[in-house]
Amino acid sequence: MLTRSQLSNLLEQHAQPSYRVNQILDWIYKKRVHSWEGMSNLPSELRESLSADFPLRPLSHVLTKGSRDTTRKFLLKLADGRYVETVLIPASPALYGETSDRHTLCVSSQVGCAYGCKFCASGLDGFTRNLTAAEIVSQILLVEELSGEKVNNLVFMGMGEPLANFENLCQALEIITAHWGLGIGARRITVSTSGLVPQIKKLAELSQQIRLAISLHGPNDETRSQIMPVNRKYPVADLFDALEVWNSKKNQKITLEYILIDGINSHIDHARELVQRAKSIRAKVNLIPYNTVEGLPWVRPTDQDCLSFKKVLTNGGISATLRLEKGHDIDAACGQLRLKKEQGTL
């Protein structure tokens, strides 16, 4: 999957006229052909030579799991035999605090993950490799084809830490937002990170008005480090400095993601501290009751405790949502489906 400038350079090397660029972009991103052979207005030698080097579908469909509320999870196989997961959420009121017609796709950015957040199955098996830009974009193309739905909202919250795959993420974002590409508005794209401080500052320099979500899960170093090892490298104060930088460049509210884990980060004092943190960067908060992960010891608080936590935030003037459960019955915590497949238990 190529950007306009990459394709243009490539075609120059093949001594092709410049109008081929638009022809090919149109075939790939608008007409959605699966192979170079299908591009009937290109010379056959060119098709043959490009198809050897640039496969148009670098991943294939393995299985789909759908839950009662119609969230669907797709297990996709990469050319090297690895697996990634992509989740389609037809409407996501709890993510946005409103009823919407959004078709949200949650995409993966890496195979496995090196960051080892303690609530997450993706980190259980370590990091394997970055996804290419083509593999990121192809998740959208393939799911649109399989589901018949047009994806109009995108979240980088699947497997992997997107900011640890920075160059490929930026290339994918270019293709996804471009009018010659998928044409999804930057404001409908959220990149979620565990809090890589240097990359947050770098991402703030992108001209696109994408949204940023932070996996916070603890309002102070002591609590957050128990849940997210990355906090030892980038402590909360440094993270919030980087978020100030983000705010100075973008006019989108940051979202703080906060998984509520019983006895770990769900005390009312945590909620009070979270109010101060969120206020300092004018962020909204997305509360997610912990989803049980096989092999991990934590449990979710009661619904009443979750509601009480939320109440402290809203009373403190923070816009907060308590996410309705989605996909609980399809191993929707990121990485679980892929892990089962690779361990041969699926």
SS3 215: strand
Rounded least distance, CB 195 to ligand SF4, Å: 9
Residues of the shown chain interacting with ligand SF4 in the complex, contacts defined by CB under 6 A: 113, 115-117, 120, 122-123, 159-161, 194, 215, 334
* Residues in a beta bridge with 64: 74
Give, for 233, the enclosing helix (H) or strand (E).
helix 230-233
Name the residue with tokens 């989108």: 252
Q: Whose Cβ is closer to ligand SF4: residue 92's or residue 336's?
A: 336
Among the listed residues 12, 145, 334, 342, the single catalytic one is 334
Task: Please count the CA atoms within 13 angstroms of the CA of 204 that sit on its side-chain side.
Answer: 20
Give the Cα separation of 201 and 243 in Å (integer).
8
Cβ count within 10 A of residue 291: 22
Rounded least distance, CB 61 to ligand SF4, Å: 22
Q: What's CA 32's distance to the chain center, in Å?
A: 23
306 a catalytic residue: no
Which DSSP letter does residue 112 get? E
Closest CA to 7 of 161, 181, 235: 181
Rounded least distance, CB 2 to ligand SF4, Å: 27
- Residues 196/230, Cβ–Cβ less than 8 Å: yes
Q: Whose Cβ is closer to ligand SF4: residue 117's or residue 203's?
A: 117
334 a catalytic residue: yes
Q: Distances from the Cα of 284 to the Cαs of 57, 148, 257, 287, in angstroms?
A: 37, 32, 9, 10
Q: Whose Cβ is closer to ligand SF4: residue 130's or residue 194's?
A: 194
Rounded least distance, CB 109 to ligand SF4, Å: 9
Q: Whose Cβ is closer to ligand SF4: residue 203's or residue 334's?
A: 334
Rounded least distance, CB 117 to ligand SF4, Å: 3
The backbone torsions φ and ψ at residue 106, rounded to the nearest 5 degrees and listed phi first, read: -100, 110
Rounded least distance, CB 20 to ligand SF4, Å: 39
Among the listed residues 85, 135, 174, 257, the single catalytic one is 85
Q: Whose Cβ is closer to ligand SF4: residue 190's or residue 215's?
A: 215
Residues 323-339 as b/e (b if ≥16 CB within 10 A, e otherwise) read beebbbebbbbbbbbbb
Give, for 65, the enclosing helix (H) or strand (E).
strand 59-66
Q: Position 178: which residue type?
A: A
Q: Whose Cβ is closer to ligand SF4: residue 120's or residue 281's?
A: 120
Catalytic residues: 85, 334
